[in-house]
Each structure stands twice: as structure tokens, then as C-alpha cells.
Structure 1
Amino acid sequence: MQKWMVLAKKADFYGVGRKFGVDPVIARVIRNRERISEEEIEQYLHGGMNQIYSFQLMKGMEKALELLLEKIGEKKKIRIIGDYDIDGVCSTYILLIGLKKAGAIVDIDIPDRIKDGYGISKELIDLAYQAGTDTIITCDNGISAMEQVAYAKSLGMTVIVTDHHEIPYEEQEDGSIKTILPPADAIVNPKQEGCRYPFKGICGAMVAYKLICGLYEKKGFPKEAQEEFIEFAAIATVGDVMDLQDENRIVVKEGLRRMKNTKNYGLRALIRVNHLEEAELTGYHIGFVLGPCINASGRLSTAKKALNLLLCKDEKKAQELAEELKALNDSRKEMTQKGVEQAEKLVETTELKEDRVLVIYLPDCHESLAGIIAGRIRETYNKPVIVLTKGKDGVKGSGRSIETYHMFKELVKCKDLLSKFGGHPMAAGLSLPEENIEAFRRALNKKCTLTQEDMMEKVLIDVPMPISYVTLPLIRQLSLLEPFGKGNNKPVFAEKNIKITQCRIFGKNKNVVKMKLYDKNGICMDGVWFGDGEAFVNEIQEKERWSIAYYPSINTYNGRESIEIIVQNYI
């Protein structure tokens, strides 16, 4: 079931259009993105790197920088402990290159997803201690590592935590919340209480980037020296599915611009093996092409391969590493598809289908694929989904949520059944004893307050707009609103009474349909649908006229440009 809703926010769209030189339709979309004042609209359309926030606003930053400068001066060994996903790899890269250039004696370790699990562990601390490490700095992890940080401190090590995840908390008897922080020497995380940093929605690599900006400034480096890290902060922001709002949007826009001519051998090779040399790189290419290759190394092998690619200084070696990551990602796609089919079969043939929160146990599934499979199942059923797999020590899993369900807070309610957990409102990771699976599933659903309406797919329409209004100049203006992604979705337009004819199915998997669209006045446009082609064509024959939600694009063929309407939903 779908619920279509028009975003009916008010403003002087014609006035805004005149002021900023854009079509009133563009002005309306900007208003729907909650940009109201002239200053906000100007930043949204033309914001630059001079508008991102200073590292000085982040709580714990001064202490962290003071410690790092002291350790660099004393020639103490520093070890970065990152994470195995795209954000962890980019964070580790930024800190490693930045600290080295600042004169630090520094190395890295990244946990193995299967052997070590998420984040800093006692085993990784022991390895650091045996290597003579004086200071551990975490990135994209550490905020919930109470025991591990205490253990490192007991060995006499200095610990700096840089992270962006939710701060762990306990609910008190009076209903108040008490936050719990690890006993680190410095904590840099914009979500901690009392932090003045204005935008809390940054990823781990952005926190790492701010730290290096601060270090370079303290060292007296020119501001331009910070610029080489922007594209990696951008890759992590999109790859870790952060909201593309505020400074995130500025950094991603600037990062995409720089990626086109990146000086990084590894990134250049990854772009090349995915045949994107001539493409106008967008957030889509990070999220669905390049990013998954980086993530695949941490899923099916070791994330150190992805880091080595980014660190590579030899073009031939970079090409080999990039090809290896692409092959890993191709393998990951096949394994994911099998897992999705197994999960859907379980939901359709058991009592799970009645649950509002889907807890799906796939014991033989590769644990690194749980999150991807959970995301795909969520798309099918529009319910929160947790996929569990059998690990070496009990059961591990990943969850993906919907906007109306704060997954991290819901897991807190069931923490007695879990061995470990952490995450965001929209995603989480967890582990638990196998015998607790059924009790966990029942507890989550018992405590769940989701209504049928909460679980209904919502199609938010920016502008009800006739397809006849679409022109090539309007489509080009839409590019001012990029990059698109979470928190800055591609605009959605809609029109009623559309006749769909001359449908032709293309593609190896029959997942592309080309068609002709006629409005009520007989105006005709080319259209395209991406999805199950045969199901689409069969359904379209059920009635003569349809309402469509769409996005207009430019199709270029033999040097000739034409308008193509991408149909996204239909009722």
C-alpha cells in the first residue's frame, strides 16, 4: 500500500525564483527542504567550504589536539584503530596521512569483522601494547567501549576516542536519561552532552577530518593542506548514509567535484575499473558503485585491502587492488541475492509475516551481509528489519529501520537479551546468545508501537506538475539541488490521468521498460521504468489512465538530447 502526500509548504515561489534566478518549481523544492531565509537558500544553492564549521566548536577537540601535539613532540608511538566499513576506512586514511604529515610515529589496525567484531577490542589493545604503542586513537568507534578503554588505560596507554555514534545511556528510575562515556583521556564526538558543534549529523570521517584540520592549524600548515581529505570525508558521508544537509551537503558537493580529477592513485583506479572515467560523478556513484567496492573488502576479506588501495602510490598496483575489490563486490552481490531470497521465503511462509518488526535468522548467511539483506527486506515490506546470522560466539546481526522507528532506542528496551549492541535511529548492530533469538523477537514486537499507517510506504510529492511543463532548461536547473541522497532526496513530481502505451522491456534481467506517456491534452513524452518489467507491463494493462510520480532526466543519444520521464511510482 502507498500513501501519496503533497508537500504543501508556503512561500513566495515566484519572488524566490526572481531573486535567485531559478524557476518557481525549483524555489518550491528548496522550500520543501526547509530552506526558508535568503541566507539558507543561498547556502543551499551556492554554499562553499568557507561555510563549514570550525573544529574549535567540538567538545574534547582542544584536549585531543593537546595530547597529540605532546605525543608527536615526545616521539611516542600512536596507533589508530578504525572500523571495517567505508566510514572506518576513510576515517583511518584521513588520520593516518594527517598524523604522518604532522610528524607522528603512527600506524593502524582495523578489526576483522568475523574474528574481532566491531570496534576496539581487548585483543587489539593487547597487540598495540605488545608493539610498544603509547597512544590509541579510535575513529568511527569507541564511544561505547567502556571496558576496552578502561583496559587500555590500566596498561598505561593514553586513549583518544573520535566517533560519531549515539552516546550510550541508561534510563533512570525517575525516567531521566544518564549518559555513559568511556574513561578516555579525550573524547571527540559531536553528540556528547555540552558539545557546541552546530551540526550533529556528521560521520566518523568528518570528525577525523576536523581533528586533522585542527592539528594542521596548530602546526601552522597552510589551509590548502587540509583539502586533500575532502573527497574522503565526502565518500564516507554518502557511504555511511548521513543526511545530505548543512555542511554534509557542502562537503559532498565539493568532494564529488574533486574526485573527478583525484590525485589518489587508488581512487582513480577504482573509478576506472567501474568505467566511470567519463561519468559526471554523483552521490549515486559513491553509494551504489564505488562505496560497495570499498565495503566489500571489509565484508568478505579484510578492510586493510581497501585502505591499502587508498594508500597505494603505484599505478599498476592500484589497478590490481581495484580489480580485486570489484571482484569481491561482484561476489558479494551474488551472495546477497541468495540471502534476500531466503529471507523473503521465511517471511512469506512463517508467522514472521504478521510481525511489525522482522527478526530473521539466517544461520548460514555470511554475517557481513546481514545489514545489506536487512535493507533490501525493509524496502520490500516497509518494516524495521533485523537479520541475524550464526557467528563463532553466538549470534550476530544488523538492523535497518524506517523513519518512524528509532532502532537504537528500541534495542535499549531489550538490552537484557543482548550481549552487545550499538547504532543509529536508522541502523544498528547487535549480538546475542542463540537461545535468546525467539525471546528477543517477541520482546521487540511486544514493545513496538508502530501503527499500520507508520508502516505504509509514503510517497512525498514536491510539486504536482504536468509533464508538459518539463523542459531541458528546467532539468538542468534541477542539478543545482544536487547532491541527492538521504536528507536531500531527489525531487518527486506527479501528474494524474496519464496514459501509458507502447511498453517495451529491455535488459538481461528484464528490469527496464521504455514507454510513451500521454497527458490528458495528448502531449506525449518518452518514459522509463526500472524494476520488474513484466510485472509492470501486466499491471499497466489493468486500466487506461494512471497517476504517476516521476523525475525528469535528459537522455543523450548520438549527441542529441531529449527529455525522458523516469516513472518512480504509479497508482
Structure 2
Amino acid sequence: MNEPITISGDPDMDGVSSLVILYKFLSKFTDKLCYVCNERSEGHMIGKLIQSIPEETKLFIALDSSSNDVESMRHLNLKGIDCLVVDHHTITNENPYAVIVNPQQFDCEYPNKNACGGLLTFKLCQVLDDLMKTSYSYELSDLPGFSLMADMMSMMEMENRYYAKLSLKGLKHEGLKQLFKGMNKDIKNLTATDFLYGASPAITAATRVDNIKLAIDFLMCDKETTSLKKYVKELIKLNEYRKTVQADALERHKGSIRDDDKVVIICDPSIGKGMNGLVGQELSKNFNRPAIVLGNGDDEDTYAGSFRGLEDFSMLDLLENCKTIEHTGGHPGAGGLSVKKENLQELKDELNNRLSSFAPDDTLYYDLEFSVDEIDERFINHITEFYRYSGNGFKPGTFLIKDLFISDRKPLGKSNNTVKIDCGKIQLMKFKVDIEYYNKVPVFTDIEAIGSLNMNIWTEYKPKFKVTKTCQLLIEDYRELIK
């Protein structure tokens, strides 16, 4: 432990969490420790980091990336630097220049093939604890679950559900506590949804605008610090900016999407490399089909960007088999790609051919149906507990609620892009809408609606302490009833 160590983490929530876990753990044993990171716009490979690694480094550790980064590891070996990779992404080629910890290796017997970088890094720390007869990893046990949820790893995997529970039920990290509070979340009753639609995109927003240092500095704050409030404020502000970019891009491009295209493909360099994936996610959700968002590549002849797929098939496998694709990588449902500009139309044609039998499914599905008379706080709390550890493979429950009567409606938010629909004992909430949607909501009308149930708890401290609880249905859609 007397040799200088340099750590690198991928520029996303999983990578940053991995870096913080290992850095805090190793700092218990040595002060000869530093880290270097790419900004998101610089990509996920470590080639551009080579010059940033201190000359005295004897061990370089790449987290949540670089299983396939052969040339960079070879270069570091030639400089006398040993390399360790802790990763969970698909391995496409042999890398003899690094010790690789990755459950995707063909001979790896680790049973959880749905582990993420943060969980594997934590497991590495546990092994080192065993060797050193220490127990420092315990202090970091609430971070792996957040990594798993942020990276959309399967919540049907029992180990992943266990660590998600440690994160949500056993939250120790002071910075995350303050961020949840800043987003009006009850830290004693957190759900995966609170994280996935609140804290996670806020932290990731920092990496998406090439401010990875903010994300790292924030996650280093597992205890109260003088800078913590400033970090939380900056992350919440960036998250609002992220929402604006997504909404603006959707509004700008939705009119250009052709019904007969099997994959939504847009080119818009103004979105920015860090935001391409989020816009792709928004387009995929709105048009019920895979989406690709492209901007300028590394040279003037190439487009590069992100893709988002569906659960029905692996978009990554599909793109890997497309002859026009220059490069692709990531996860089955989300990743990056590049294509020559002259081949873009050919790629569109190829995808339309390969997906000729695919039809976008606009059907709304739900798990159970209830009358609004059955809904109360106790009922919603039971539902919340059942779906607390939701995510990939185990989605939050969606319900059809009947016997609703709209008595009022109201626009909310700075941009009036949220609609609150008053239905007596329950409020219907619809996010990311425009004034046209609001104007179409009928008043004094019987309806039924599909959505997810939620308790909105609001605490007021002035002029006097008051806690307000409201039953909510976060709706996907509603239907007027004609009697």
C-alpha cells in the first residue's frame, strides 16, 4: 500500500459512485492516492486520460469501463504501470494488459451477471477488508444500491434487490440525505422512484454538462461539510436545466418523426453529447419505439450519439449487426454509437428492414383496477411498500382507477407544464404537458385513469408547523365516460 495509485471512473452515476467507494476505502490505508476522469463529452475510453496519470503511478484502476481498452492498458504497461479493471460491460476482445474483474467474462463463475460497476467495486473492497482484517467497506454499503438503480440493472436479481434495500432503508450518506430533502422527499420512506426520478438525474446532470468534479465532490460528502449546501443547490439547478433541454428538444423534433420509421433518428448537435441519451429516452417513451440521437462525431465525416431501446429486444445487438455502424457499445437498452454521415440514410433503411415486423405498441397496460373509493393513505402505503425496490424487470405498479369525477384543474410549475386535476379525495397529476393538454382536460366530468399511486407529503414550517398529505395518481392517460 506504499505505491502511488491512480483511479479513474466512468463519467456517469455508476462510474462516479465506483470511484468514490474505492477512493474512500483505499484512503484508509494510504495517502498516495489520486483520481483522473474524462468529462462525458470526451467519451468512455481512457485513451485521453493517459497524459493526466501522474508519472509516479504504479497501479492504475479503471472502474465501470475499459475492459476492451487494450491499447491504453498496453501503453500504461510499457510505462511500468500495473492495470486493474473493474467493469460490467460486454467484453468484445481479449485484454492481456490488465487484471480484469468483470462477470461478463466467459469463464467467470460469479452468479450475478447483472451487477454494476459500483457493486463490483464494493465487493472488491469487501475482499480487501477480509485480507486486511478490517471492516471499512461497511461505511460505504449504502452506495452500491444507488449505482445499481441508476444503471438500470435488473431488480429481479436478488443480490441487487438486497443492495437497493440497503440504500433506501439504510441511507447513511449525508449528501444524498440533503439532496433528497432538497427535492421534498421523505428520507425515512424512500422508494426507487424517488431516486430514479429525483436524486439520480440530478447527480448525472453534472456529468452531462461536463462538470464531473461537482458530482464527485458531492458524493465525497458522506458527512456534513461547509460546501454541501452549495453542492445540493447546484445539482438541483442543473436538474432543472436538464428537464428544460429534454422538453425543448422533444418539442423541436416531434413534428419531424415519420410514422413508418421503425426507429426514431434525429441529428441535432445543439443538444450536446451529454444530453443525447436523455433526449433519446424521451423520444423513445413518446413514440413507443427505439430512438437514436446524433450530434457531431470526432471528425467532420462522422455522427456520434446515443441510443435507447425497448425491452422486447437488445438494441445493442441490433446495431452491432448493422454494416453501416462504425462503433457501438454500452447496454442492451442504452448506449452509444457512431456512423459516417454519408451512411445515415442507409442506416435508417437497414433498421427499417431489420425491424420490418416491429409495430410500435401504443397500448396502455395496467396491473390491477380499483374504485377511487378504495383508495386512502393506508392503501397507498401498502402499494408503495410492495413496489419500493422497483426498476429494470420489476416496474412500479400501474393501476386503472375508476369512478373519478373532475371538479377542477390547475396548471403548475414555472412553465405551466404540469397539470393538477382535482377528483375529490385524490388528485391526478400529469407532468411534461403543454397548454393544449391542459385546455382539453374536462371539468365536471366522469372519467377513469391509468397511472401510479403516490402519497404527496408536504411540510410547512411557517407561519406554523403543518403537514399536508394528499393521495395522488400520477397519470399516463385518462378516458371520459359517457353516461
TM-score, normalised via structure 1 length? 0.74
Secondary structure of the 2:161 match is helix
* Aligned counterpart, 1:229: 140
Aligned equivalents of 2:197, 2:338: Cα separation in 1 = 27
- Alignment of 1:501 with 2:406, yes or no, is yes
Partner SS, residue 489 of structure 1? coil
> Corresponding residue for 1:101?
28
For residue 409 of structure 1, report the CA deviation from its aligned partner. 0.2
| TM-score, normalised relative to structure 2 | 0.86
Q: Is the 8 A contact 1:470 1:552 kept in 2?
A: no
1:318 and 2:244 are equivalent in the alignment: no
Aligned-partner Cα distance in 2 for 1:428–1:233? 21
C-alpha distance 564-89 of structure 1, shift in aligned 2 (>3 A): closer
* Cα distance change, pair 181–364 in 1 and its aligned pair in 2 (3 A): same
User: In structure 2, what residue type is equivalent to 1:144?
Assistant: N
Per the alignment, residue 548 of structure 1 pairs with 449
- Which residue of structure 2 aligns with residue 219 of structure 1? 132
Indicate the residue corresponding to 1:85 in structure 2.
Answer: 12
Q: Is 1:297–2:244 an aligned residue pair?
A: no
Look up the match of 2:49.
124
Amino acid at match of 1:445: N
Is the contact between residue 89 and residue 306 of structure 1 (CA under 8 Å) also seen in structure 2? yes
Any residues of structure 2 matched to 1:409-424 within 5 Å, and which? 409-414=317-322, 416-424=323-331
Against the structure 1 CA distance between its residues 292 and 471, is the aligned structure 2 distance closer, same or farther, given a 3 Å change threshold? closer
Pairwise mapping of residues 236-275 of structure 1 onto structure 2 (< 5 A)? 236-245=147-156, 246-259=158-171, 261-262=172-173, 264=174, 266-271=175-180, 273-275=182-184
Secondary structure of 2:277's match?
A: helix
Say which of 478, 491, 494 aligns to 2:383. 478
Give the partner amino acid of 1:502.
Answer: S
State the distance in 1 between where 2:166 and 2:363 align: 31
Say if 1:399 and 1:510 are closer, same or farther in 2 by CA, change over 3 A.
closer
Cα distance in 1, alignment partners of residues 32 and 9 from structure 2: 17
Q: 1:93 to 1:553 in 2, by over 3 A?
A: closer
RCO (CA 8 Å, sep 6+): is it higher in 1 or 2? 1
Contact 1:163 1:207 in 2 (8 A): yes
Count of residues paired in the alignment: 464
| Larger-Rg structure | 1
2:253 to 312, 330, 343: 343
Relative to structure 1, is the Cα distance of residues 288 and 98 closer, same or farther in structure 2, using a 3 angstrom cutoff? Answer: same
Give the one of 362, 366, 370 matched to 2:276. Answer: 370
Q: State whether residues 359 and 386 of structure 1, in contact with CA within 8 Å, keep that contact through their aligned partners in structure 2.
A: yes
Cα distance per residue 1:154-209 (max 9 Å; x no partner)? 434322111111232xxxxxxxxxxx332243211122213222222122111111
Shift of 1:505: 2.3
Gaps spanning 5+ residues in structure 1: where? 1-71, 169-179, 518-524
Distance between the aligned counterparts of 2:330 and 2:315, measured in 1?
A: 8
Say whether the 8 Å CA contact 1:367–1:391 is kept in structure 2.
no
Q: Distance in 2 between matches of 1:110 and 1:510?
A: 36
Deviations 1:114-171 (A, max 9, x none): 2x311321x323432x522222211110123233333333434322111111232xxx
Rounded to whole Å, the distance in 2 between the matches of 1:544 and 1:512 is 16
CA RMSD of aligned residues (A): 2.9
Q: What is the aligned partner in structure 1 of residue 87 from structure 2?
A: 163
Alignment match, 1:438: 345
1:401 aligns with 2:306: no
Q: In the TM superposition, what is the alpha-carbon distance from 1:495 to its structure 2 partner?
A: 5.3
Q: Which moved more, 1:441-450 or 1:526-535?
A: 526-535
The residue matched to 2:310 in structure 1 has which SS? Answer: coil
Please say if residues 384 and 454 of structure 2, whose CA atoms lie closer than 8 Å, have aligned partners that are also in contact.
no
Q: Secondary structure at the match of 2:234?
A: helix
Q: Per-residue CA shift, 1:215-274, capped at 9, x if unaligned?
A: 11111113xx32222222122222222222322222122212233x53x4x435534544
Counterpart CA distance in 2 for 1:510 and 1:343 is: 18
| Partner amino acid, structure 2, of 1:526 | I
Alignment partner, residue 463 of structure 2? none
What letter is aligned with 1:446?
A: N
Can you list the C-alpha shifts for 1:327-365, whole angstroms capped at 9, x where unaligned? Answer: 333333333332222232332xxxx44210122111222
C-alpha separation between the residues in 2 aligned to 1:325 and 1:386?
27
| Corresponding residue for residue 260 of structure 2 | 354
Query: What is the DSSP-based 3-state SS (H/G/I as helix, E as strand, rest coil) of the residue aligned with 2:142?
Result: helix
CA distance in 2, matches of 1:335, 1:544: 35
Is 1:78–1:104's contact at 8 Å kept on the other side of the alignment? no
Q: Look up the SS of the partner of 1:137 in the other structure.
A: strand
The CA deviation at 1:97 is 1.2
Q: Is the 8 Å Cα contact of residues 145 and 167 (structure 2) preserved in structure 1?
A: yes
- Looking at structure 1, the residues matched to 246 and 418 of structure 2 have their Cα atoms a distance apart, in angstroms, of 18
**CA contact 2:404–2:448 (8 Å) conserved in 1:** no
